[in-house]
């Protein structure tokens, strides 16, 4: 089912920023990184994607950096047999396309989970930074390196341990990544998406979630938002360590 931000409990519609620099600071972009991008900010283009729309495809040339202003994005890998695995989630404040700084192709397919708004910055503009301000460009490369280290940690987090523990860790992660819900609320992904992250069957994830709900570790917030749950954080943390 296609989701929009109202259905998933994301109450505030995204409004186009008046000041791109202020918008980037607001989503957590470091001031030194913003300074590095300063000369090319006029080339930013606002783009919007509906739920389930593809932003870019695996194997394609990296033509831009994507700076996420609102919404969630999943990065997908597809095997030769057609099976899919979600290898990363992105949210407000994330930057996609950093591997283009190393002249690499897209190694994942990026798909909007819900309604997404982002700034698109052409890679050609980034090349201008490389030629004109080497220190600023090296700052971008350093940011890219930190992102890759975080990606390795993310994959390990959901690939090891019991299925129950991995589901609990994923629920806690989804809770922490969504600023639009309450401090102890989670906007769950679909069972299939959660299975694609953890690398197990949807049935296994469904059983774990059903048990969490029975034990009140996940409690519905409002029937209008079927994917939105209040979390018993202490109990979920105990499960995450199993």
Q: Which DSSP letter does residue 151 get?
A: H
Q: Provide the pLDDT confidence category of residue 13 given band limits of 50, 70 and 90.
A: low
Topology, domain 163-240: Arc Repressor Mutant, subunit A (1.10.10)
pLDDT in tens, 33-47: 787 788 888 999 999
Mean pLDDT of the chain: 86
Mean pLDDT, residues 174-179 taken together? 82
Cα distance between residue 182 and residue 187, in whole Å: 10
Residue given tokens 């860790």 in the structure block: 169
The strand order across the sheet containing 95-96 reads 45-49, 116-122, 64-70, 95-96
Q: What angle do CA 3, 8, 14 make, to 5 degrees?
A: 85
Q: Which helix (H) or strand (E) holds 220?
A: strand 218-220
Cα→Cα distances 59→85, 149, 184, Å: 16, 22, 38
Q: With H, G, I as helix, E, B as strand and everything else as coil, classify residue 85.
A: strand
Cα distance between residue 144 and residue 140, in whole Å: 6
Nearest to 170 by CA among 194, 146, 138: 194
Q: Which DSSP letter does residue 18 get?
A: S
Q: Which DSSP letter does residue 38 get?
A: G
Topology, domain 20-157: Jelly Rolls (2.60.120)
pLDDT at 224 over 90: no
pLDDT in tens, 54-108: 999 999 999 999 999 999 999 998 888 878 889 899 999 888 998 888 888 999 9
Q: Which residues contact 191 (CB under 8 A, 6 or more apart)?
A: 202, 205, 206, 209
Q: What is the pLDDT of residue 200?
A: 92
Q: Where are the domains of the chain?
A: 20-157, 163-240
Q: With H, G, I as helix, E, B as strand and everything else as coil, classify residue 13.
A: coil
Q: What angle do CA 235, 239, 242 make, to 5 degrees?
A: 150
> How many helices (DSSP H) and strands (DSSP E) are in the chain?
8, 11
Mean pLDDT, residues 216-225 taken together? 91
Burial class of residue 240 (count of CB atoms within 10 Å of its CB; 0-12, 13-18, 19+):
buried
pLDDT in tens, 127-169: 877 777 777 777 777 777 777 666 666 777 888 899 999 999 9
Cα distance between residue 26 and residue 14, in whole Å: 13
Q: What is the DSSP string of 53-75?
A: -EEE-TTSB--EEEEEEES-EEE
């Amino acid at each position: 089912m296609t989701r929009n931000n109202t259905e998933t409990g994301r109450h505030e519609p995204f409004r186009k920023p008046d000041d791109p620099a202020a918008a980037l600071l607001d989503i957590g972009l470091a001031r030194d990184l913003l300074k590095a991008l300063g000369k090319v900010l006029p080339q930013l283009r606002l783009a919007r994607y509906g739920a389930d729309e593809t932003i870019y495809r695996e194997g394609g040339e990296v033509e831009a950096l994507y700076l996420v202003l609102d919404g969630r994005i999943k990065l997908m890998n597809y095997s030769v047999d057609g099976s899919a695995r979600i290898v990363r989630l992105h949210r407000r404040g994330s930057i996609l396309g950093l591997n283009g700084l190393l002249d690499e192709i897209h190694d994942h397919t990026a798909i909007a989970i819900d309604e997404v708004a982002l700034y698109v910055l052409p890679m050609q503009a980034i090349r201008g930074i490389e030629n004109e301000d080497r220190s600023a460009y090296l700052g971008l490369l350093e940011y890219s390196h930190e992102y890759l280290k975080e990606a390795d940690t993310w994959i390990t987090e959901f690939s090891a341990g019991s299925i129950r523990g991995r589901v609990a860790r994923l629920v806690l992660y989804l809770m922490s990544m969504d600023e639009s819900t309450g401090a102890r609320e989670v906007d769950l992904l679909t069972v299939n998406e959660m299975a694609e992250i953890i690398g197990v069957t949807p049935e296994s994830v469904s059983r774990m979630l059903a048990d969490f709900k029975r034990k009140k570790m996940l409690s519905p917030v409002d029937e209008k938002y079927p994917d939105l749950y209040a979390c018993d954080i202490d109990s979920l943390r105990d499960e995450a360590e199993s």
